[in-house]
Structure 1
């Protein structure tokens, strides 16, 4: 089924979350063929034409301001789309895959001090860039902070912030405080001027909660919590948790000062004061401390700054046993599944024609898992779906994602159809091509040679695929500077191409040109 579209460009796929201002959707940019996040402003918040116009103006300004925060810790803003009717307002931005900072807060297992400091320091770097614009977040809280799989912090929802200039104050003033009661500064609660120091207060609330496992003030309702922020003194974190260092405890208490001027000067100062609690480059993870399991480590970016991307490991494909397969097939709604697969192929083909490769691959991925549960992971239909998806990934240049799938497919077809089957050999060849594109030359050569052995056993040395594989082997040998081996591979290939297809064949001429360059550069064994 066709997804809802925004601005004739962005397709809304599924709702990710919703809040006071509206809903966040995972979407697809049909022009650039990439995932995006689409923030939809709640339509029920607009009750008049005048209010719609004010919302549109506010929204557009906030989108522009957010786009000015040039920092990797703020999701990039791509577009702002306003419906002609003002009924719907959208902000299109980078889609961040991660988990909420809220997931790291556990009263039974407080975070290591270095982890809390690492989260705080990363948030400080974001705030320092935002406050320089100047933009105040106004609603900083764990729920508005995402942590990627690499332990990197992304601060969300700067869209409700307003640029600190008098000409936009009128647009952003709503008469009610913007924020969440557990993290609101006293001046914010009392309707005073909201400035960068207000975000520092919220950061103090977040740090306190990371260290202690519970909010600094936790009354029964919003009114009680707001009263506590304005009038009550916080219990020092050291009284809750004895291993909090004196300097860190003092910093948190200063951040929670009732008067803005008594807080640290700016986010930069807070970052500097957190540095002593951060691990140094090259250091190992803490020992003797209960490290949370199953969540990303925020200290990695300090211990291994600018580290390479972690190597990905293909996950094993789960297979059903024969009895499980028979039972699932008997119970499965076969007609519905068949229609879903057909629709996925049709939709994927339509997206391919528009060069929207990532979305075309996702359309097939959406039916692969349910089809595997019903038909078995290695049924012909499921393997065909996976093979089609992997081929689309290659067309779109996503070799890193396609590689483990083609490896798994080659192994599956070898088990089900035999090592020399067309499907097994083609998937093995595609895996080798992916490795070559990713620079894994030695592994690609080994795989291409395996392909050639299988081809020779069935189709001989002169099939179209064998010709192509022999040429690729020669080219990879050249890339490893194995000139003599390359010559010994390409010269017989040229002879065979001339014999089968003639000297005027395009492939023969291409190989001839390569040999000529080898002769010119090296003259191996005096063959010039």
Structure 2
């Protein structure tokens, strides 16, 4: 944004006071009230994010901004206003006069703060967290850069809404390609790292990391790589603080180590409990503390003189658990510094978890297994990693353009090079493997896609845990492919397991949870459990409408599924009304020519035909064919589908010559474009046979019916429902030709195959 730009005719941006990974903070003047404020502007979503993701981000921002604005406590930054201007989301906050804890450490060359300041900061932050946790709000990204010490000594926590928004971006965007949970590695709780359930006790762990750092000068696990830091949080006990700084009070050492317990149950019950422990300890050891400098006349925070600090993980730690040897020699990960003003910079996920992963050791060590001895993997050059990241992005862009074959070739090549450079279970390698699987599923190679998604899910489970969002994403895609393969019972089992994990770790209203419930509802209908499918889809539609709005594309996708299930239940009047509602809303929000709008119109035509309103359906399909032809061309599969609907309704109106001509033309184009055995081609060929039969040309119809039946048996199997339906058509045709004996024999054969299929295990 340019200097002195005026937002919403009210906030005049004056100068930048902070920048980071999610945007920038400006000092601004509120022209309406005549006061200075801070305006945080989020980076606009670029072309790398699809429209659906951008819409979700915008909705999440508005909700989280409302949450932040509702927080009223002296220890929480006040949010005055929020909105969107020229595509940029912004948050208006009080302008704070002070330094964040990261800056205070940097001012003193990373040496720790004075003891009374540390204890006072701990007590004030505990008080603020106690308030926010009572409101049901978890910060999720507490770190030194998000805690401000004002010139009057007040301590304030910043970025509640933005931290939660970043959490949701990390969990909902498939384009991050890394799978790491939201949070800065040096301050993440073990449950965040594992992708487990995160509640208020995760904030207490992060506070423990912050207090450890301001008391000793370094975080509890100050190792050379972000991955090693994460493993330290999960698997290694931190060194007592007084090992590094003897003058720290004993009670403070104990409190911080309790905060850093590996499981939430071992930590203080809540922030109120923590504050009480600090107060009791402070009273008990008051004689050891110099007077607290809560409000110093100079307005400056006093810093302790330089203290030599033993950096955990660098020097011998004495007896106790140690990080595995394979964590040595890794590259430097992200840690707090004064450069990240106002907590704006979350970890850089663009190159994966670490950017450089030098180990080739078996990662079963992360989950309690025994590491296998392997030669160390050479450190890949930054240039190679950057090149591979750019090629990965190019593959994503090819996919967005629908060039799935080319995208697959790019992702396969990048996956092979990443595996060689980084290892098979590195998040970046698995990200490329995920995209390979995705392209396979979009090019009709469902069995190959399933194997690849399973491989990715197993790798992510080893390195990130079974409940991590990225692990669940791979399993959910595997379930989708199982559905493509017609293995709907197995798909149901996977969807149900993923849904249970998502509800446990993310909550019932998280966008990914609702997406999984939507998919489960879809799969239930394919299992024939139509009432269950209808109820679940209806509930998801209500939840999405409540959270995202009645016209949000995700809400409409689920309403579309509700309409489909209503049709399967024979409730065509209800289905028609729902499809019409979806079509109107999509025309308004997406545009009249959007593919989703046109798809809803097609289904309106189906419903009209089912209700016997074929004349209306015919007019709808004529208009739809014109629109499809204009938008995507005459030979596009969707244009041909609309023409097929046109032919069907011509037949229903007994205009069989016209219907036959339409069906033959569509069949010929489909055969040329899609192939003779494509399901759409066979549907058109069957419609040709139907027209021939109604015109009394039963011998010609028999030939066509047999052609369809043989193709379906060849492609789908003799006992597939579509193949059996084609043999039934053939038997009916034999009856019409007076060949009753052959017809009866064929009917018996079909009945036997149906009975056999009915008793097969699913």
TM-score, length-scaled by structure 1: 0.50
Q: 1:104 to 1:277 in 2, by over 3 A?
A: farther
Distance in structure 1 (CA, Å) of the matches to 2:239 and 2:128: 28
Secondary structure in structure 1 of the residue aligned to 2:247: coil
Match of 1:117 among 116, 119, 123: 119
Q: 1:242 to 1:107 in 2, by over 3 A?
A: farther
Deviation at 1:45, TM superposition (A): 5.4
Distance in structure 1 (CA, Å) of the matches to 2:288 and 2:302: 12
Q: Do 1:74 and 1:126's aligned partners in 2 also have CA atoms closer than 8 Å?
A: yes
User: Tell me, which stretches of 5 or more residues in structure 1 are unaligned?
Assistant: 299-528
Deviation at 1:107, TM superposition (A): 7.0
State the Cα deviation string for residues 213-272 of structure 1 (Å, max 9, x = none): 111111112111111111111011121122223222111111001111111000111111
Distance in structure 2 (CA, Å) of the matches to 1:212 and 1:195: 27
1:22 aligns with 2:19: no
Equivalent residue, structure 2, for 1:239? 243
Deviation at 1:111, TM superposition (A): 2.8
Return the structure number with greater helix share.
2
Equivalent residue, structure 2, for 1:218? 222
Bigger Rg over Cα: 2
Deviation at 1:160, TM superposition (A): 2.6
Distance in structure 1 (CA, Å) of the matches to 2:153 and 2:260: 26
Deviation at 1:37, TM superposition (A): 0.8
Match of 2:301 among 296, 316, 324: 296
1:209 aligns with 2:213: yes
Q: Number of aligned pairs?
A: 290
User: Tell me, which stretches of 5 or more residues in structure 2 are unaligned?
Assistant: 174-178, 304-762
Equivalent residue, structure 2, for 1:76? 78
Equivalent residue, structure 1, for 2:158? 156
Deviation at 1:103, TM superposition (A): 3.4
Secondary structure in structure 1 of the residue aligned to 2:82: strand
Secondary structure in structure 2 of the residue aligned to 1:43: coil
Q: Do 2:6 and 2:13's aligned partners in 1 also have CA atoms closer than 8 Å?
A: yes
Distance in structure 1 (CA, Å) of the matches to 2:158 and 2:226: 23
Distance in structure 2 (CA, Å) of the matches to 1:59 and 1:126: 22
Q: How does 1:456-467 map to 2 (within 5 A)?
A: none
Distance in structure 2 (CA, Å) of the matches to 1:239 and 1:104: 23
Q: Do 1:62 and 1:161's aligned partners in 2 also have CA atoms closer than 8 Å?
A: no
Deviation at 1:2, TM superposition (A): 7.2
Q: 1:285 to 1:11 in 2, by over 3 A?
A: farther
State the Cα deviation string for residues 88-136 of structure 1 (Å, max 9, x = none): 1111111111111123335775333222110011111111111111111
Equivalent residue, structure 1, for 2:133? 131
Distance in structure 2 (CA, Å) of the matches to 1:123 and 1:288: 16
Distance in structure 2 (CA, Å) of the matches to 1:127 and 1:45: 34
Q: 1:113 to 1:279 in 2, by over 3 A?
A: farther
Distance in structure 1 (CA, Å) of the matches to 2:228 and 2:273: 31
Distance in structure 2 (CA, Å) of the matches to 1:134 and 1:287: 35
Q: Do 1:151 and 1:297's aligned partners in 2 also have CA atoms closer than 8 Å?
A: no
Q: Do 1:6 and 1:81's aligned partners in 2 also have CA atoms closer than 8 Å?
A: no
Task: Show structure 1 runs of 4+ deviating over 6 A.
Answer: 168-172, 282-285
Equivalent residue, structure 2, for 1:96? 96
Q: 1:222 to 1:6 in 2, by over 3 A?
A: same
Q: Do 2:268 and 2:274's aligned partners in 1 also have CA atoms closer than 8 Å?
A: yes
Match of 1:227 among 225, 231, 238: 231
1:141 aligns with 2:146: no
Distance in structure 1 (CA, Å) of the matches to 2:201 and 2:270: 7
Q: Do 1:57 and 1:171's aligned partners in 2 also have CA atoms closer than 8 Å?
A: no
Deviation at 1:77, TM superposition (A): 1.0
Distance in structure 2 (CA, Å) of the matches to 1:72 and 1:288: 19
Q: Do 1:113 and 1:277's aligned partners in 2 also have CA atoms closer than 8 Å?
A: no
Equivalent residue, structure 1, for 2:14? 13
Distance in structure 2 (CA, Å) of the matches to 1:126 and 1:22: 25
Q: Do 1:257 and 1:263's aligned partners in 2 also have CA atoms closer than 8 Å?
A: yes
State the Cα deviation string for residues 116-165 of structure 1 (Å, max 9, x = none): 110011111111111111111111111111111111111111123449xx
Secondary structure in structure 1 of the residue aligned to 2:262: coil
Alignment root-mean-square deviation, CA: 3.3
TM-score, length-scaled by structure 2: 0.35
Distance in structure 1 (CA, Å) of the matches to 2:291 and 2:3: 52
Q: 1:45 to 1:184 in 2, by over 3 A?
A: farther
Q: 1:250 to 1:100 in 2, by over 3 A?
A: same
